[in-house]
Amino acid sequence: MWEAEARYTFIVSMYNDNPVLRLCAESSRKTRYHKSMKIHCRALLFDLDGVLVDSTPAVARVWTIWANKHGFVPDEVVRQAHGRPSIATIRDLLPQADHQAENSEVERGEIEDTVGVIPLPGALEILRALPQGRWTIATSCTRRLAEVRIRAAGLLPMPKHMITSNDVQHGKPDPEPYLKAAQILGFPPRDCIVVEDAPAGIRAGQASGARVLALRTTALDPELTQSGASWIINDLASLRVISSDHRDALDLILDVV
């Protein structure tokens, strides 16, 4: 109990202005019981924002400017935009607008605003522990924006394989991003685990045929479960790679709370 309380105090003192890391801190404060679970897969398919990278403050700033410009409620727009290609949100909210022009404006703002873009807990460690060719990223960002955020967060070198909104016809919650992510690694989706934080991404992962590991960095447990998460953990600090005795398999340990 005291360990959880100490962790909460530390996180809050370091990240008091960061809503994503405040959510992680709150989860740690409430935690009293832990158990470890061993799971297996052949590859991991990561979302970017909210899983590997915390870009929440930057995203909120850009979409707030856009929402105010068009007379929308900023908090509702930010919530709707999370985990989806930005052009999909624009099409929903401004069906008669020049979608490409609006999307370019939003993307430009997100590329220019990298203040507070940092790696989420455990992200650097898990990527360093995974063998090359056994993981990739499937993000709703454009390739240019994804590369900017990866560099800003220090998740270098740049991943060899990555699926972005430029590579798909249908974004999350459609399964296409995760189907293509599994394909470029050469594994069937059923042998992969998708790591997601957003309900749209969880639904995309489940629809692809993969199992889904959800993180509590964005949504609450009931929404993660309802979206189809197989397991829920606080963040990637609760995921470890261990040596595998199985051909082509990854053995993982989840610290479930």
Q: Which residues are catalytic?
A: 47, 49
Find out whether 48 and 141 touch, Cβ atoms under 8 Å: yes
- What's phi and psi for 157, nearest 5 deg? -70, 160
How far apart (Å, rounded) are the C-alpha atoms in residues 186 and 37?
Answer: 26
CA distances from 107 to 31, 114, 142, 225 (A): 38, 12, 8, 31
Residue carrying the six token digits 């404060």 = 29
